[in-house]
């Protein structure tokens, strides 16, 4: 019953936590650098507009999740996950080397290729990092481990956006600084991955099907065959829809509705991210150190109520005649209700998402866990794309304001969440927990030769006892 922060002192958890944190950090440093490059230098380097380049960037990053997640899940189930992690992190160093060439030569095509490959890197790493958690942790640690992962990811996104923006602004036309930064983060990620302990193979006899369309269909069909897990994944995907709607619109919301300058955008993203991190960390104690879904309805209600209150809070603001600085906005008490709403949306988002991730991991069969998570990633990406489409239609065709879009999202949220909670509760009765922590490897990381020997032995045992 120790605090979840004690996991950060263990060799079985800390290396994977740092590896995923640095991966998310590098994703966002690189993406933010590209956004600023396209926004401020596109006119001199390309005939395409900044908005086209930025939307193309978003599409290229998310496309690999549709294409490769199912294959990545198969590979993660078939092979030893710590070795795969190291290979993927070496791949990241190569990608950042390619990005460095693109930055230094101001070559947009190379940068787009690097962005697509970073999306591919993330698509392959996703099934590994979530599938290995139940093997690294005891059952009463799983909620806390997921909470730390979500907190780390939220902070990595925020820090990555800030650092990427600051380095680009300070560098001007000289992009050597951002190049060295992304290479350094990739290198640190590889070093941390070398300490991830070995774990048993999920299904060594699995034959990887390289037909990405067939494997995606099979992964989704298999997920559909696990009813309670399937509805849990739909709940997770809805959170990504909800979060993408808010995060994507915050810059425009700041400018149009709050009349705030660029630093206000960063402040609101910080408030939102810190809320998610805090809510995630509170889950372990509030859930009683057990994998259960009792916080999910509370999270769903909070996501709805505070989005509704956000709608009303912005209507009581006095209209400003010009963009206001962060210090000016902070000096006006009428804005604090809006800040509190965004913070509470983050907190209740943490209550909502962490238990769902822990439930998905605990109730997915060990031999198929990575493929279940791959199917989850496919649906997450699909819901995020749907979020962008609905937002564009609502804002352009229906002529809704941003506050009205948030209100619409809150209404959809309560309907979707109520359905997910009802289905999971109804279908999970008697649902087995397929949890098998491997405490024998948790105290230290064996040398590489030992890892290889253990992997070979596991492969042999699986072949003898399919």
Q: How many CB atoms lie within 10 A of CB 274?
A: 18
Q: Where are the domains of the chain?
A: 1-201, 220-429
Query: Residue 465 gets which letter from DSSP?
Result: -
Helical ranges in 137-174 per DSSP H:
142-171
pLDDT at position 191:
96
Model confidence band, residue 241 (pLDDT cutoffs 50, 70, 90): very high
Q: Is 260 helix (H, G, I), strand (E, B) or coil?
A: strand
User: In angstroms, what is the C-alpha Rg of the chain?
Assistant: 22
pLDDT at position 399:
87
pLDDT digits (tens, 9 = 90+) for 409-418: 999 999 999 9
Round the average pLDDT of the chain to a whole number and report it. Answer: 84
CATH superfamily of the domain spanning 1-201: MFS general substrate transporter like domains (1.20.1250.20)
pLDDT digits (tens, 9 = 90+) for 155-211: 998 899 888 888 887 877 788 999 999 999 999 999 999 999 988 888 888 888 898
Residue 214 in tokens: 């067939």
More confident residue, 112 or 465: 112
pTM for this model (two decimals): 0.78
pLDDT at position 43:
52
In sequence order, the 6+-apart residues with CB closer than 8 A to the CB of 202 are 76, 77, 78, 131, 366, 367, 368, 369, 370
pLDDT at position 102:
92
Same topology between domain 1-201 and domain 220-429: yes
Is the separation of the CB atoms in 424 and 228 below 8 Å? yes
pLDDT digits (tens, 9 = 90+) for 49-87: 665 676 677 788 888 988 888 898 899 989 999 999 999
**Cα→Cα distances 380→48, 62, 66, Å:** 29, 10, 10
Model confidence band, residue 463 (pLDDT cutoffs 50, 70, 90): very low
Query: Residue 372 gets which letter from DSSP?
Result: H
pLDDT digits (tens, 9 = 90+) for 135-159: 888 888 888 888 899 899 889 988 9
**Cα→Cα distances 317→260, 266, 314, 331, 408, Å:** 13, 20, 5, 13, 20
pLDDT digits (tens, 9 = 90+) for 432-458: 555 555 544 344 333 333 333 344 444
pLDDT at position 52:
67
Ramachandran assignment for 293, one of left (phi > 0), alpha (psi -120 to 50 degrees), beta (any other): alpha
Alpha-carbon gap, residue 270 to 155, rounded angstroms: 9
Q: Which helix (H) or strand (E) element contains residue 3?
A: none
pLDDT digits (tens, 9 = 90+) for 262-312: 788 888 888 998 999 899 888 878 877 777 788 899 999 999 999 999 999
CATH no., domain 220-429: 1.20.1250.20
pLDDT at position 183:
96
**Residue 33 half-sphere exposure, CB side, CA atoms within 13 Å?**
36
């Amino acid at each position: 019953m120790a605090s979840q922060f004690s996991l950060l002192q263990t060799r079985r958890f800390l290396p994977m936590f740092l590896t995923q944190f640095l991966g998310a950090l590098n994703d966002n440093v690189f993406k933010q650098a590209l956004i600023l490059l396209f926004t401020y230098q596109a006119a001199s380097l390309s005939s395409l507009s900044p908005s086209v380049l930025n939307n193309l960037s978003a599409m290229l990053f998310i496309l690999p999740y549709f294409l490769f997640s199912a294959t990545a899940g198969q590979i993660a189930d078939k092979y030893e996950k710590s070795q795969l992690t190291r290979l993927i992190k070496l791949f990241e160093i190569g990608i950042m080397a390619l990005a460095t060439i693109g930055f230094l030569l101001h070559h947009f095509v190379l940068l787009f290729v690097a962005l697509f490959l970073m999306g591919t890197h993330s698509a392959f790493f996703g099934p590994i990092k979530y599938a290995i958690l139940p093997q690294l942790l005891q059952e009463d640690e799983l909620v806390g481990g997921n909470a730390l992962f979500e907190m780390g990811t939220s902070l990595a996104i925020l820090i990555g956006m800030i650092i990427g923006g600051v380095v680009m602004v300070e560098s001007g036309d000289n992009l050597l600084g951002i190049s060295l930064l992304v290479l350094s983060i990739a290198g640190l990620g590889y070093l941390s991955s070398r300490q991830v302990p070995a774990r048993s193979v999920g299904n060594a006899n699995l034959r990887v099907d390289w037909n990405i369309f067939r494997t995606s269909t099979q992964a989704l069909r298999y997920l559909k065959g696990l009813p309670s897990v399937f509805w849990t994944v739909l709940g997770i995907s809805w959170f990504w829809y909800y979060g993408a709607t808010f995060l994507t619109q915050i810059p425009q919301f700041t400018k149009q509705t709050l009349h705030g300058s660029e630093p206000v955008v960063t402040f609101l993203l910080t408030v939102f991210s810190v809320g998610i991190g805090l809510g995630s960390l509170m889950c372990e104690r509030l859930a009683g150190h057990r994998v259960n879904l009792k916080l999910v309805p509370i999270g769903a209600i909070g996501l709805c109520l505070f989005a509704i209150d956000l709608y009303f809070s912005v209507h009581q603001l006095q209209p400003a005649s010009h963009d206001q600085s962060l210090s000016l906005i902070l000096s006006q008490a009428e804005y604090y209700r809006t800040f509190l709403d965004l913070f509470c949306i983050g907190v209740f988002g943490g209550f909502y998402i962490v238990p769902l991730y822990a439930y998905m991991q605990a109730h997915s069969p060990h031999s198929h866990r990575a493929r279940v998570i791959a199917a989850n990633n496919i649906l997450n990406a699909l819901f995020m794309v749907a979020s962008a489409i609905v937002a564009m239609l609502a804002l352009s065709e229906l002529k809704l304001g941003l506050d009205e879009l948030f209100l619409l999202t809150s209404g959809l949220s309560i309907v979707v969440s109520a359905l997910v909670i009802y289905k999971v509760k109804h279908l999970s009765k008697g649902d087995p927990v397929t949890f098998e922590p491997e405490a024998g490897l948790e105290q230290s990381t064996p040398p590489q030769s030992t890892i290889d020997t253990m992997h070979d032995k596991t492969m042999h045992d699986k072949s003898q006892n399919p």
